[in-house]
Structure 1
Amino acid sequence: MFTGLSAFPLTPMSELGVDEGAFTRLVEQLVAAKVDSIGALGSTGSYAYLSRAERSRVAQLAVEVAGNIPVMVSIGALRTRDVLLLAEDAQKVGVKALLLPPVSYQKLSAEEVFSLYETVTANISIPLCVYDNPGTAHFEFTDELHGRIAHLPNVRSIKIPGVPEAPDQAKSRVDRLRALIPEHVTIGVSGDALAATGLNAGCEAWYSVMGGLFPKSALAITQAALSGNAQEATRLSDRLKPLWALFRQLGGGLRVVATAAEIRGFCTSPSLPLPLKVVSGEGRQRIASVIDELELS
């Protein structure tokens, strides 16, 4: 399940709780588009803002709605104890894989991070994806640490940040990591603006923010790259440069995608947990215009 497009949907919510109907509609759209997997409760899914019970419920909904499409959920938490409890909850509701970022308040050392993955992988019965996201977890993996972790039991994929923009440098980056990890562990790129570059450079999966709302547009890029048509994948990605610009200018993919989900009528406002807020005013109008101009779907 760690190849192709893994779409990461928003978890719409207000201070009253998760909007289960809106979340269900988002997942149903991913099922209809036939994405390769669904990454519920990722950073786009605001996992860090939810209680254990809420996370278990969202995971359950995702599994029920997804049907035959495999669901992966994040089990990130500050304490290893809580990570293990979240893993247990997720496995009980039938998810097919777990996504683990090294979440911290106190800065973690490399040995502490390795110990986290060592403990968790020894106590789960389904595959795990290593979540490398220094922007939210505030920890920077080395390739050597990835190599050590990738040899642990149940590790099956590594979700890396965006690759370098230059294709030759992107390939060198992917090749360096590939040389240190087992063949059965895939490399998945995130950072949507550079997804085509990462896929063309040898990444087997795209862990996608935009794919959680616009799966058909994301699938077109993914399928072109994985079929060997690097030129078409690049063309399709370049066509979305206005969207990538909005991600940079308006506070990141989460805020833009949440705003877009409201504009498209998948959920009502507010759709993010306070103190996070969606884009308003002129920025919101720009998002609506870009969605229409690019015919995102």
Structure 2
Amino acid sequence: MFSGLSAFPLTPMNAKGPDEAAFVCLIERLAEAKVDSIGALGSTGSYAYLNRAERARVARLAVQHAGQVPVMVGIGATSTREVLRLAEDAQLAGASALLLAPVSYQPLTSEEVYELYSSVSHELSVPLCVYDNPRTTHFEFSDELHGRIARLPGVASIKIPGVPAEPEAARERVARLRKLIPSHVSIGISGDPWAATGLNAGCEIWYSVLGGLFPQAALALTRAAQRGDAALAEQLSRQLAPLWAMYNQHGSARVTAAAAELLGYVNAPCLPAPLQALNNTERTTLASLLTKLAL
């Protein structure tokens, strides 16, 4: 399950908590599109804003409605104790893999991050994906730390936050990391604007925000890269550049939430307070862009 397109959907919210009906609809759309995997409770899925019971319920719903598509569930939390509890819940829900970011309040050292992954990996019965997301966690992995963690039992993939824009530099960056990790551990690209460049540079999987709401567009780009059509993959990404610009300006979760609201997939507001999606002017811009891009 650690190749191709992993689609990361929203966890729509309402005043009572997760909007289960809307979430199920999003999951069923992804299953119907035949994405390669689903990433529930990632950053786009607002995992940090949900309590344990809500996260367990969302994990169960994702697995129950994903059909044959494997589901990876995020288990990030600020203490190892809570991560282990969330891991148990996700495995009981039937998750095929788990996604772990080094979430913290106090800044973490490299040794503390290694011990987190070591403690968790030895307790799992399903594969683990390392979530490298410095913009959110404020922790930056070194390639050497990735190499150490990748040798822990059950670690199956590393989700990196981006690659250099220049293709040759991107290939060199992926090659440097590949030399330090076992061959069975895949390298996945996140940060949608870098997806085409990352896949063309040798990343095996795209962990995609776009794919969580617009799976067909994300699949087209992924499949082009997988069959070696680097030019088409880059072309498809360039066509989406105005959307990437909105991601950079407002954050991908806010843009995705506003798009889902505009298209009627979820009720507004769908983000957990105090987060807010786009304002009226920004929504008008986004609505025009969605029409232009035929999304």
- Name the structure 2 match of 1:261: 260
Q: Is the 8 A contact 1:15 1:274 kept in 2?
A: no
What SS is found at the alignment partner of 1:114?
helix
Counterpart amino acid of 1:34? K
DSSP 3-state at the match of 2:292? helix
Map of 1:198 onto structure 2: 198
State the Cα distance separating 1:14 from its structure 2 match.
2.4
Match of 1:273 in 2: 272
User: Structure 1 stretches of 5 or more lacking a match?
Assistant: none
Structure 2 counterparts to residues 103-114 of structure 1, below 5 A: 103-114=103-114
Deviations 1:161-192 (A, max 9, x none): 01110101111110000000000000000010
The unaligned stretches of length 5 or more in structure 2 are none
Give 1:15 deviation, angstroms.
3.3
- 1:79 paired with 2:79, answer yes
* Secondary structure in structure 2 of the residue aligned to 1:179: helix
Matches within 5 A, 1:66-145: 66-145=66-145
Alignment of 1:165-244 (within 5 A): 165-244=165-244
Q: Distance in 2 between matches of 1:15 and 1:161?
A: 32
- The Cα offsets for residues 214-252 of structure 1, whole Å up to 9 and x where unpaired, read as 000000000000111101100111111111111112x21
- Whole-Å separation in 1 of the counterparts to 2:171 and 2:106: 34
* Runs of 4+ with deviation above 6 angstroms: none
Deviation at 1:263, TM superposition (A): 0.5
Partners of 1:56 and 1:287 lie apart in 2 by 33
1:14, 1:271 within 8 Å by CA — same for their partners in 2?
Answer: yes
Q: Does structure 2 conserve the Cα–Cα contact (< 8 Å) formed by 1:59 and 1:93?
A: yes
Cα deviation, 1:108-155, whole Å, max 9, x if unaligned, reads: 000000000000000001000000000111100000000000000000
**Structure 2 equivalent of residue 58 of structure 1:** 58
Count of matched residue positions in the alignment of Structure 1 and Structure 2: 295
Q: Which residue of 2 aligns with 1:252?
A: 251
The amino acid across from 1:204 in the alignment is E
Match in the other structure for 2:31 = 31
Cα distance in 2, alignment partners of residues 121 and 171 from structure 1: 29
When the two chains are superposed, the root-mean-square deviation of aligned CA atoms in Å is: 0.6
1:255 aligned partner, one-letter code: R
CA distance in structure 2 between the aligned counterparts of 1:283 and 1:175, rounded to whole angstroms: 39
Bigger CA drift: 8-17 or 136-145? 8-17
Q: Structure 1 CA distance, aligned partners of 2:109 and 2:186?
A: 25
- Distance in structure 2 (CA, Å) of the matches to 1:135 and 1:73: 20
Contact 1:129/1:157 (8 A) holds in 2: yes
CA distance in 2, matches of 1:122, 1:247: 36
Look up the equivalent residue of 1:27 and give its one-letter code.
I
Deviation digits for residues 189-223 of structure 1 (CA, Å, limit 9, x no counterpart): 00101100000000000000011000000000000
2:291 is aligned with 1:292: yes
The aligned amino acid for 1:86 is L
Amino acid at match of 2:29: Q
Q: Secondary structure at the match of 2:180?
A: coil
Code of the aligned partner of 1:295 = A
Deviation at 1:282, TM superposition (A): 1.0
Q: Deviations over 1:60-83 (max 9, x none)?
A: 000000011000010000000000
TM-score by length of 1: 0.99
- The residue identity in structure 1 corresponding to 2:290 is I
Partner of residue 153, structure 2: 153
- Code of the residue aligned with 1:260 in structure 2: it is A
**What secondary structure sits across from 2:73 in the alignment?**
strand
